[in-house]
Chain A
């Protein structure tokens, strides 16, 4: 994608902050927020309730603590090979064939997750708001809009995300104000919910937040490289975590603990209850608007990542031609009917297990090898502060 500048027009291009095809600190924070924060509104929440019971609202904190060392390790790895994407680093460390294998695994699992999640979001919208509209139509329309946003490129996604971030945060606050008077905060007690059993389950389900490590694939496209990656990922993840914690706290407080297990689509049901005084109530459709915007950004990054991986795998000349096959594949795979929500949860869990079992060891392997094999030593300090 990158060309060496040949004339002044190209120099104008490369030095142009608005056209240099890179994303910066703010954009990455926003992207991380939309990658993870939206999970506080979807089918991840029932998993949290299953693992931690009424302490589900602490799950984002747990997960954050678990992935914190990984983020630091990965950003150190990226710092050693400053300005390079993860796959190129991987090629250097473990050789091309193994990297190909890893990329295939990442791609297939990512596709499966994308298919399952897009489908589930569509179903959520369909059931809660558009009961008579055929699912195929909803799915097609949502995918189309998402694919269009993804097609405009990574920096566009980043900019859209950074423009929408304040509104997303505001809508969480708004939701809280709307349900403030019916929250019974005592529902979060007993404080530790299901107790110690939550730890192993958290570890096996770290795949829920694997998205931010997928983003290391684009490490070369970050404005200040690994430093941006580390800081923005930590801040963005923390923001998303706090957002998700707030949301799950609201679910617990509003629906009550054992009763919350009966609830499907927590966020939608919560926004249905939100009300502001006597006359402004039933405004879930307005929340639907902001939620859909967040969803579009969320899946746009997914689709872009998938296209990028496929681009690497098939060595396509033009990355943007791969959008059509990828989106078509997601669409047709997503039409595969699974009848019950239960089955959906089973599939989701398998994928999350698989992601946990592959991505984290792969990253660890890279980090370990980078210590012995090449790269700049103590590169982190040098690049970080010059």
Chain B
């Protein structure tokens, strides 16, 4: 019996070895791959084809103690393949790249505005995602210039390795909402729902603009900022039915996200002209701790949508010196003013969405859905068609929380002295 066992063992090990040696088709060695950080897509000169740009990182630059061996090598290189399709790129690129192209760590897809406006974006992205290495959660950015140019010019000052740029940038936007965090998965979801979708909008073409003092109420490339990294990323590109049809400013983007309940707890700064002393601006911090309530009424001929936006306001600075802190009536006036201003801004945006773009950028169809019991009924109602004629009323419920960390606008006298006087 033992001899039999020994025999099986003797047979077993070569077999095991055979299995182990015969495997390894999918094996890759780390030093043998070229990691792609970003993929850019542009309109090709042949219709239906795209120009694909790959941004490839130099792994050796990640080491601190490499000495002079890699000093002459660049941090990353970009290659552009013209008139191709995204699926073919990985193999074609090896004509000029030594290593196996790996796209599992892609940080962002960049799509030129030209392509987004003229070709069907859905087809492009759906073709992209076919590769199993591609990830659905990858962020998508629409660039004002060609993505190729964008990638080429995007040399952040601090980040030696370019992947950090995308990562840090997105983390920051998560909190402010100046930019929608658009991902492939979300876009595919919205497209299937026949809903428009907001993409991140960015550019490296930074121009001086005529309109002054607009703050973040501008689109990428028009901010009044000097210096910094070459990339300016603010606002959103609106894509409807696979085509880009417009842009939203940073502020509009934020409001759109807020009204869609997509801006979770966010804090952002807004400045308003002082109602009492116009040239001065009141800086406030707005918080939407509780999301807006969205009520949908489909009984009438036109859908009625009532949105109540609770906002918590902290007034941070009052350079005009009007004493809003102590004076209740002035405070009420300020609150009312802020409320009206916000309401007007929201209304403007809704107006634009309903009539200029004719697109439900607030994703209110999601709230309409729960009014129906079956999918057939929902489809028959066809909300995307009815959205432009919907009755939308937006109410802002403003609550003054406090006046920042300082007691008085001028911060000269503590209040108890005033009482003594």
Q: Within 8 Å by CB, do A and B touch in the complex?
A: yes
Q: Is B192 an interface residue (CB 8 A)?
A: yes
Q: B residues within 8 A CB of A282?
A: 104-105, 135
Q: Is A54 an interface residue (CB 8 A)?
A: yes
Q: Does A190 contact B369, Cβ atoms closer than 8 Å?
A: yes
Q: Is B304 an interface residue (CB 8 A)?
A: no
Given contacts A128-B132, A190-B370, A190-B377, contact A137 B188 (CB under 8 A): no
Q: Is A117 an interface residue (CB 8 A)?
A: no
Given contacts A186-B370, A189-B370, A272-B135, contact A131 B26 (CB under 8 A): yes
* Chain B, range 357-382, C-beta contacts under 8 Å to A: 366-367, 369-370, 372-378
Nearest-CB residue, chain A, relative to B194? A258
Q: A residues within 8 A CB of B23?
A: 133, 137
How many A residues touch the partner, as a band? Answer: 35 or more
Q: Does A193 contact B372, Cβ atoms closer than 8 Å?
A: no
Residue in A127, A133, A189, A258 whose beta carbon sits within 8 Å of that of B192 in the complex: A258
Q: Is A254 an interface residue (CB 8 A)?
A: yes
Most chain B CB atoms below 10 A, which of A141, A194, A258, A273: A258
A282 to B136, CA, bound (A): 11
A129 to B376, CA, bound (A): 37
Q: Does A191 contact B373, Cβ atoms closer than 8 Å?
A: yes
Q: Does B25 contact A133, Cβ atoms closer than 8 Å?
A: yes
Residue in B104, B126, B373 whose beta carbon sits within 8 Å of that of A195 in the complex: B373
Q: Does B366 contact A133, Cβ atoms closer than 8 Å?
A: no
Interface string of B375-411 (1 = CB under 8 A from A): 1111000000000000000000000000000000000
A257 to B375, CA, bound (A): 10
Q: Does A256 contact B193, Cβ atoms closer than 8 Å?
A: yes
* Chain A, range 235-279, C-beta contacts under 8 Å to B: 254-259, 261-262, 269, 272-273, 275, 278
Q: Does A262 contact B192, Cβ atoms closer than 8 Å?
A: yes
Given contacts A130-B26, A133-B26, A256-B193, contact A273 B185 (CB under 8 A): yes
Q: Does B375 contact A190, Cβ atoms closer than 8 Å?
A: yes
A364 to B23, CA, bound (A): 49
Given contacts A133-B25, A282-B104, contact A259 B188 (CB under 8 A): yes
Q: Is A167 an interface residue (CB 8 A)?
A: no
Q: Does A182 contact B185, Cβ atoms closer than 8 Å?
A: yes
A182 to B262, CA, bound (A): 10
A130 to B369, CA, bound (A): 39
A141 to B20, CA, bound (A): 11
Residue in A53, A184, A272 whose beta carbon sits within 8 Å of that of B375 in the complex: A53
Q: Is A192 an interface residue (CB 8 A)?
A: yes
A381 to B193, CA, bound (A): 55
Q: Is A134 an interface residue (CB 8 A)?
A: yes
Interface string of B324-337 (1 = CB under 8 A from A): 00000000000000
Q: Is A132 an interface residue (CB 8 A)?
A: yes
A282 to B189, CA, bound (A): 20
Residue in B25, B192, B374 whose beta carbon sits within 8 Å of that of A192 in the complex: B374
Most chain B CB atoms below 10 A, which of A182, A259, A282: A259
A129 to B132, CA, bound (A): 8
Q: B residues within 8 A CB of A261?
A: 192
Within the complex, what minimum Cβ distance (angstroms) separates B4 from chain A? 16
Within the complex, what minimum Cβ distance (angstroms) separates B180 from chain A? 14
Interface string of B15-58 (1 = CB under 8 A from A): 00001001101100000000000000000000000000000000
Q: B residues within 8 A CB of A194?
A: 374-376
Q: B residues within 8 A CB of A269?
A: 136
Interface string of B118-160 (1 = CB under 8 A from A): 0000000010000010011100000000000000000000000
Q: A residues within 8 A CB of B369?
A: 186, 189-190
Q: Does A258 contact B193, Cβ atoms closer than 8 Å?
A: yes
A137 to B132, CA, bound (A): 20
Q: Does B375 contact A195, Cβ atoms closer than 8 Å?
A: yes
A184 to B377, CA, bound (A): 21
Q: B residues within 8 A CB of A131?
A: 26, 132
Q: Does B367 contact A186, Cβ atoms closer than 8 Å?
A: yes
Q: Is B171 an interface residue (CB 8 A)?
A: yes
Given contacts A131-B132, A141-B19, contact A190 B378 (CB under 8 A): yes
Within the complex, what minimum Cβ distance (angstroms) separates A260 from chain B? 8
Within the complex, what minimum Cβ distance (angstroms) separates B175 from chain A? 13
Interface string of A128-165 (1 = CB under 8 A from B): 11111110010001000000000000000000000000
Q: B residues within 8 A CB of A189?
A: 366, 369-370, 372
Q: Does B189 contact A259, Cβ atoms closer than 8 Å?
A: yes
A278 to B366, CA, bound (A): 28
Q: Is B61 an interface residue (CB 8 A)?
A: no
Given contacts A137-B22, A137-B23, A195-B376, contact A273 B192 (CB under 8 A): no
A182 to B139, CA, bound (A): 13
Q: Does B367 contact A278, Cβ atoms closer than 8 Å?
A: no
Within the complex, what minimum Cβ distance (angstroms) separates B187 from chain A? 9
* Chain B, range 186-205, C-beta contacts under 8 Å to A: 186, 188-193
Nearest-CB residue, chain B, relative to A258? B192
Nearest-CB residue, chain A, relative to B264? A181
Q: B residues within 8 A CB of A192?
A: 373-374
Q: Does A255 contact B185, Cβ atoms closer than 8 Å?
A: yes
Q: Does A259 contact B374, Cβ atoms closer than 8 Å?
A: no
A195 to B379, CA, bound (A): 13
Within the complex, what minimum Cβ distance (angstroms) separates A139 from chain B? 13
Residue in B25, B193, B366 whose beta carbon sits within 8 Å of that of A130 in the complex: B25
20 examples of A-B residue contacts, CB within 8 angstroms: A127-B132, A131-B132, A133-B26, A137-B23, A182-B185, A186-B369, A187-B366, A190-B370, A190-B372, A190-B378, A191-B370, A193-B374, A194-B374, A195-B376, A255-B185, A256-B189, A257-B193, A272-B135, A273-B185, A278-B171
The list of the 7 closest CB pairs from A to B, nearest first, reads: A256-B189, A259-B192, A258-B192, A195-B374, A189-B370, A189-B369, A190-B372
B residues engaging A (CB < 8 A)? Answer: 19, 22-23, 25-26, 104-105, 126, 132, 135-137, 167, 171, 185-186, 188-193, 366-367, 369-370, 372-378
Given contact pairs A192-B373, A193-B374, enumerate 7 new A-B contacts (beta carbons under 8 Å). A132-B26, A190-B373, A190-B378, A194-B376, A259-B188, A259-B189, A278-B167
